[in-house]
C-alpha cells in the first residue's frame, strides 16, 4: 500500500528515518488534503524502519506488532509531507532490554510530519511491542 500511495524514504540510518508522502489523486481526500490514513502509513514506516534496524542488528528473532497509535493534527496536510523519527537509539535500548530479560517490552516512538515550509502538520505516537522468540 505504501508503494501505491507513493511513500518514499529519502533518508534512513540507525538513528533516524525520513519518509515522504505527497498529495495526489490516490492520497487526496474530499477536503483537499492528504488522507489521515496515508499520513499514518508514512509515520508508521518512519518508526518501523528503525525498529527493523534495531532487531536486525541484534541477530535475534522477535515477534513485533503495533499495539497503539495516537495522532495530533495541527495543520492541513497539503503538498509533500516529510515524517521524521529520531528514536533509533531508544529502539536499540528496548531491544537490548528484551534480550537481557527475555521478556516482551514496548516502546512508543514519535514521528513528526512537516510540510515543505517546515511547519508541523501532525505528530504521531506509535507504540511497538517486541517479544523475543525462542
Residue 48 contacts residue 65 (beta carbons within 8 Å): no
- How does the average pLDDT of the chain come out, rounded? 96
Write down the pTM of the prediction. 0.94
Q: What structural domains does the chain harbor?
A: 2-132 (3.10.129.10)
Helix (H) or strand (E) holding 126: strand 120-132
Neighbours of 118 (CB within 10 A): 7
Q: What confidence tens digit (pLDDT) does each residue in 50-72 have?
A: 999 999 999 899 999 999 999 99
DSSP character string of 24-71: -TTTB-TTSSB-HHHHHHHHHHHHHHHHHHHHHHHT--EEEEEEEEEE
Amino acid at each position: 500500500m505504501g508503494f501505491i500511495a507513493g511513500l518514499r524514504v529519502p533518508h534512513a540510518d540507525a538513528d533516524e528515518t525520513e519518509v515522504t508522502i505527497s498529495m495526489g489523486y490516490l492520497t487526496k481526500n474530499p477536503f483537499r488534503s492528504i488522507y489521515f490514513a496515508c499520513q499514518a502509513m508514512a509515520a508508521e514506516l518512519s518508526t518501523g524502519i528503525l525498529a527493523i534496524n534495531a532487531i536486525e542488528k541484534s541477530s535475534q528473532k522477535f515477534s513485533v506488532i503495533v499495539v497503539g497509535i495516537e495522532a495530533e493534527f495541527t495543520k492541513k496536510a497539503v503538498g509533500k509531507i516529510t515524517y521524521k523519527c529520531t528514536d533509533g537509539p531508544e529502539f536499540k535500548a528496548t531491544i537490548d532490554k528484551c534480550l537481557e530479560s527475555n521478556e516482551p517490552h514496548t516502546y512508543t516512538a514519535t514521528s513528526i510530519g512537516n510540510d515543505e515550509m517546515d511547519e508541523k502538520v501532525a505528530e504521531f505516537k506509535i507504540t511497538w511491542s517486541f517479544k523475543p522468540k525462542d
